[in-house]
């Protein structure tokens, strides 16, 4: 599924360290750590009716990742929020917007990987785009299992929400070649970790909503919101290691993420999911989608 260009984004104003510039004039130094070594962290936010859903949780995760990478002079939540406000105002945006926050280690005095070469503080980039959920929620999506494995914490801790997305890109290439929308990625033990872009959930024959542990994938904001909805509304749920075979035979499978919200999976590796009912999305996925949409209508920090 290839995202289409939205003409409303042709004249976007981008915020780079507080400087508001047209997208065609925006520039990051070739000495910036993001360019030199992918040395940056990021968050994806979504704007609903002038409010950003779970902004504090996203900013906490951004700061936490920057702390792990020993960034200096990490900007405060207040400063980042103000730059988001300025960017949205410059673009006259209030709804249906996806915001990509990138915080790099900053500009180096000369090329090289040594963080001591960074002596001017980090670079903050705020990119806001008109972008509805990227998946077709009525049709659902297909997945193909990738040969690329997710790292466990002893290789590279997935709790660092870093900008080095080569694993995901390689997995996405395999999914494209297989004619699928996205890729299923396993951990080193062969359990399902996530997709190249989202977290995965399955619903078993007993109606239990189950998602893999976050041992080999990031902690997801939307993932946690879905688990909270299960707890609040008495929907049986679990977090555990889940094999690919369990996903194949599940009654329902769905993905979660800020970019795409909740979307049903209709097939994995050519195997139809929930073929007994033929309903896409399945009843539990549909219920959780409605509950999530209600949550985003009523929750969030006002930035407009």
Within the chain, residue ranges assigned H as helices are 33-37, 55-68, 77-91, 166-177, 221-232, 244-248, 283-298
| Of 104, 130, 156, the domain-final residue | 130
Residue 163 clears pLDDT 70, i.e. is over it: yes
Say yes or no: 86 and 156 in one domain.
no
Q: What's the number of domains the chain is made of?
A: 2
Say yes or no: 107 and 152 in one domain.
no
| Of 110, 130, 150, the domain-final residue | 130
pLDDT (average), residues 203-210: 96
| Of 130, 156, 187, the domain-final residue | 130
Residue 278 clears pLDDT 80, i.e. is over it: no
- DSSP letters spanning 55-99: HHHHHHHHHHHHHHTT-SSPPPHHHHHHHHHHHHHHHT--SSEEE
Residue 304 domain-assigned?
Answer: no
Chain mean pLDDT for the chain: 96
Residue 292 phi/psi, 5-degree rounding, is -65, -40
pLDDT at residue 90 in the model? 98
Say yes or no: 81 and 220 in one domain.
no
With 0-12 CB in 10 A as exposed, 13-18 as middle and 19+ as buried, what is 111? exposed
Of 6-20, 129-143, 164-178, 267-281, give the lowest mean pLDDT range: 267-281
Of 136-140, 149-153, 207-211, give the lowest mean pLDDT range: 136-140
Summarised one tens digit per residue, pLDDT across range 238-249 is: 999 999 999 999
pLDDT at residue 280 in the model? 78
Residue 135 domain-assigned?
Answer: no
Instruction: Identify the domain containing residue 194 by its residue range.
Output: 141-298
pLDDT-derived band at 3, boundaries 50, 70, 90: confident
Say yes or no: 147 and 263 in one domain.
yes
pLDDT at residue 2 in the model? 77
């Amino acid at each position: 599924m290839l995202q289409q260009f939205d003409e409303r984004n042709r004249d976007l104003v981008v915020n780079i360290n507080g400087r508001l510039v047209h997208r065609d004039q925006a520039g990051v130094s070739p000495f910036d750590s993001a360019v030199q070594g992918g040395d940056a962290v990021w968050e994806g936010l979504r704007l609903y009716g002038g409010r950003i859903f779970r902004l504090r949780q996203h900013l906490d995760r951004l700061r936490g990742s920057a702390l792990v990478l020993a960034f200096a002079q990490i900007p405060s939540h207040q400063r980042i929020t103000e730059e988001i406000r300025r960017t949205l105002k410059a673009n006259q945006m209030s709804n249906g917007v996806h915001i990509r926050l990138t915080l790099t280690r900053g500009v180096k005095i000369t090329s090289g990987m040594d963080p001591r070469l960074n002596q001017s503080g980090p670079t903050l980039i705020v990119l806001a785009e008109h972008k509805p959920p990227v998946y077709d929620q009525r049709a659902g999506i297909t997945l193909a299992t990738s040969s690329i494995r997710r790292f466990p914490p002893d290789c590279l801790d997935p709790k660092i929400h870093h900008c080095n997305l080569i694993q995901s890109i390689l997995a996405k290439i395999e999914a494209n070649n297989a004619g699928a929308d996205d890729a299923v990625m396993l951990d080193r033990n062969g359990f399902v970790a996530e997709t190249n872009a989202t977290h995965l959930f399955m619903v078993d024959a007993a109606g239990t909503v189950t998602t893999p542990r976050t041992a080999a994938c990031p902690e997801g904001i939307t993932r946690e919101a879905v688990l909270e909805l299960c707890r609040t509304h008495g929907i049986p749920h679990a977090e555990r290691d889940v094999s690919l075979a369990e996903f194949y035979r599940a009654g329902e499978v769905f993905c979660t993420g800020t970019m795409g919200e909740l979307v049903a999976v209709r097939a994995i590796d050519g195997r139809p999911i929930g073929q007994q009912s033929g309903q896409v999305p399945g009843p539990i996925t549909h219920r959780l989608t409605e509950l999530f949409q209600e949550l985003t209508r009523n929750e969030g920090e006002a930035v407009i």
